[in-house]
Structure 1
Amino acid sequence: MNNKQLLASAALAVALSTVVTAPAQAASKEKCYGVALAGQNDCGNLAGTHSCAGQSTLDNDAGEWKLVAKGTCEDIGGLLKAAAKKRFENKKSN
């Protein structure tokens, strides 16, 4: 096996191992709303005003989320999705 084949094989192995482990890691985490600091959210918000990570503008906004270890969200003062949606809808209607 020459160096190019060896390098290509190693790159493929790394790429495949990343794809296999990502779902396992995601299964042990959950979205936790209201705990992200400004600029540190993990993705889009409930309001739909942005769809990317790092775009939150307020600390602990109930519409912004971070991934946390499953079962720890409420312990750290956060909300699970159903509760966050309810709070968002109530806030929107007032």
Structure 2
Amino acid sequence: MNQNKALIASALGAVIAMGVLTAAPASAADKEKCYGIAQAGKNDCASATGAHSCAGQAKTDKDPGDWKYVAKGSCEKMGGSTAVKKN
């Protein structure tokens, strides 16, 4: 009986994992980089200005070179820009 439960749990886990993997690309397509909205330490990747090279390294709030992924169409509403602003 324990083998049956383990087999069912394993199969269920595989089905759930497959659902998560197939959903990821669709949600990634609905996102865009939004510059100038990231809080200090909460940026998603390297600075566009070369200030740092990794996520979570923003030193100041709303630096125009730091970005976060947001839902498409929401960046400007949040006060950001989809392009790097040059000083």
- Decide: shared fold, TM above 0.5: yes
**What residue is the counterpart of 1:2 in the other structure?**
4
Q: Report deviation, 1:48.
A: 6.3
Show structure 1 runs of 4+ deviating over 3 A.
Answer: none
- Length-normalised TM-score, structure 1: 0.77
Percent sequence identity is 43
**What residue is the counterpart of 2:64 in the other structure?**
62
- Counterpart contact for 2:52–2:58, Cα < 8 Å: no
The partner residue of 1:40 within 42, 67, 84 is 42
**Aligned with 2:10: secondary structure?**
helix
Q: Which runs of 5 or more residues in structure 1 are unaligned?
A: none
Q: Which has the higher helix share?
A: 1
Q: Which runs of 5 or more residues in structure 2 are unaligned?
A: none
**Aligned with 1:49: secondary structure?**
coil
What is the total number of aligned residue pairs between the two structures? 84
Distance 1:60 1:34 in 2: 4
- Length-normalised TM-score, structure 2: 0.82
Amino acid at match of 2:75: C
Amino acid at match of 1:77: G
Q: Report deviation, 1:30.
A: 0.8
- Counterpart contact for 2:35–2:65, Cα < 8 Å: yes
